[in-house]
Amino acid sequence: MTGFVTMGAVTSGFVGNSLGYQLLDVPGSTFTVGEAINNAGQVSGLYYDAAGATRGFIATPVSLPTGTTSGGAYVFSVAVIPGVPIFIDPVVAVGYDYRIGKKNPRIATVRLPIGIGDSWYKLKVGGRKFFLAGGDLFDFRTNGFPKGVEKFRVDCIEVDAMLDPANPQAFPTELSFMDAGWFTGTQKPLTRDSERGDKGKCMASDRHDDDDEDDDDRDDDKGKNGGKDDDKDDGKGKGKGK
């Protein structure tokens, strides 16, 4: 549930359940009201800015990283169930590589945030490219990957929209999964190539610049390996096919 509470001169929104609640305040505002909440836990409402104008907001609950790998990818540990989205978020980048962990359920859908630059992104998966607007739900299953995917890349975030490295909620990403289990995957920021921040070059580029994004998901769904998943971690099928 969501609503608001006034304490002295400050009105704060809140979000809670039968176990407790958390206050919700837009930074710099002394009047924040939560008006609605969806099944994913996102709260919409209104607040007064410093000039006294009434504005709207959407607050998204995110699961923050539990650490990083030696290669700089952010690591998560979140329980997941089919069809119920979670939101993950690291710190800052102009693009991201997403990958599930060992034995994790595959990713079924993704929704990217609104309001980062012009809110247009390039999504790369299994050797294919899709152009995606922030806020739109992208279903991998209906776009050539009926078994979901293990990894994908988001690219083309403008340099001049550089996300605040001090803001732990800079790029909240909604994911849903094919099966129940745990998501212990990673979200690796891409910062090494300044061209990724040039919207025109990035959106028009047909270069094979996906060093970390290969074709495993595409090959699995096309029936390579006899229609079986190429799960390198399960130890099955090694030494076969010689």
pLDDT in tens, 28-81: 888 999 999 987 778 999 999 888 899 998 887 777 778 878 776 778 888 888
Rounded CA-CA distance 155/137 in Å is 16
pLDDT for 232 equals 44
SS3 category, 140: helix
pLDDT for 78 equals 86
Global confidence as pTM? 0.59
pLDDT for 208 equals 43
Tokens of 204: 């028009």
pLDDT for 98 equals 94
pLDDT for 40 equals 73
* CB-CB neighbours of 213 under 10 Å: 20
| Regions of the chain where pLDDT drops below 70 | 72, 89-93, 159-169, 191-201, 205-242
For the chain, the distance separating the N- and C-terminal CA atoms, rounded to the nearest angstrom, is 59
pLDDT for 136 equals 95
pLDDT for 164 equals 54
SS3 category, 130: strand
Query: Do 104 and 77 touch, CB atoms closer than 8 A?
Result: no
Query: Do 25 and 5 touch, CB atoms closer than 8 A?
Result: no
* CB-CB neighbours of 142 under 10 Å: 10
Rounded CA-CA distance 82/12 in Å is 33
Rounded CA-CA distance 29/47 in Å is 7
